[in-house]
């Protein structure tokens, strides 16, 4: 009887010792499954990020390629504008020369200058380089740079009444702004004197 009891106790002990082992194995299995799932999720995230980065890089390269094609001649175009400026300056110098006034030689030269100027503008226009229209337009800080204010009661203040240097755009970009003079209202002489007096008093 005692022997049977001892054997039963041993079996129970064995069963008890086996139970925790089984639960430990299950826990271990679950932990392994979790870590595998986590690793898969991490890898999926990394792959998604890599694809996103590759797509962004592809778009950047496309944009750079497009810009290089569209605006590759930007610096050259800007330098070429000096030709128009120099032609205009030369024309003004000849017009202001008293010894040449009203001579046939001057008229012929000016005609040739105008032809060259028109040809240059035509070449620029074919390459999407266009002059900015300024005279009698409202000052636009995106296209014009005001160099001076000129008193004029006939024009609305802020209207461009003088073009000092012609501005140009290349496609939808500003190549260089127009340098302009804008209209302002004539100041009352009494107000001017008062302002001058105030300025002297401040000093």
Instruction: Give the pLDDT score at 19.
Output: 45
| Strand ranges for the chain from DSSP E | 129-131, 144-151, 160-165, 168-170, 173-176, 178-184
Q: How far apart are CA 99 and CA 90, in angstroms?
A: 15
Instruction: Give the pLDDT score at 55.
Output: 86
Closest C-alpha to 139, from 168, 175, 170, 178: 178
Instruction: Give the pLDDT score at 24.
Output: 66
In the three-class reduction of DSSP (H, G, I as helix; E, B as strand; rest coil), residue 73 is classed as coil
Instruction: Give the pLDDT score at 112.
Output: 92
- All domains of the chain in start order, with CATH: 131-203 (2.30.22.10)
Instruction: Give the pLDDT score at 15.
Output: 46
Residue-by-residue pLDDT tens, the chain, 203 positions: 554 555 555 555 554 444 445 566 666 666 666 688 888 888 888 888 888 888 888 888 787 777 666 666 788 888 889 988 999 899 989 888 888 888 888 889 999 999 999 999 999 999 889 999 999 999 999 999 999 999 988 889 999 999 999 999 988 889 999 999 999 988 765 555 566 666 666 65
Instruction: Give the pLDDT score at 197.
Output: 63
pTM above 0.85, yes or no: no
Instruction: Give the pLDDT score at 45.
Output: 86
In the three-class reduction of DSSP (H, G, I as helix; E, B as strand; rest coil), residue 91 is classed as helix
């Amino acid at each position: 009887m005692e022997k049977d009891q001892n054997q039963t106790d041993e079996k129970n002990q064995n069963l008890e010792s086996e139970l925790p082992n089984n639960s430990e194995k299950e826990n271990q299995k679950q932990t392994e499954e979790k870590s595998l799932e986590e690793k898969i999720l991490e890898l999926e995230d990394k792959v998604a990020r890599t694809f996103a980065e590759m797509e962004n890089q592809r778009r950047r390269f496309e944009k750079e390629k497009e810009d290089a094609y569209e605006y590759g001649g930007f610096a050259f175009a800007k330098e070429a504008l000096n030709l128009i400026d120099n032609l205009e300056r030369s024309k003004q110098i000849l017009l202001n020369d008293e010894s040449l006034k009203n001579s046939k030689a001057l008229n012929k030269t000016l005609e040739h200058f105008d032809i060259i100027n028109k040809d240059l503008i035509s070449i620029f226009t074919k390459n999407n380089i266009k002059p900015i229209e300024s005279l009698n337009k409202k000052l636009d800080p995106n296209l014009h740079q005001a160099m001076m204010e000129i008193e004029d009661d006939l024009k609305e203040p802020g209207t461009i009444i003088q073009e000092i240097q012609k501005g140009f755009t290349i496609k939808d970009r500003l190549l260089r702004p127009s340098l302009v003079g804008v209209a302002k209202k004539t100041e009352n002489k009494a107000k001017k004197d008062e302002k001058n007096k105030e300025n002297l008093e401040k000093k």
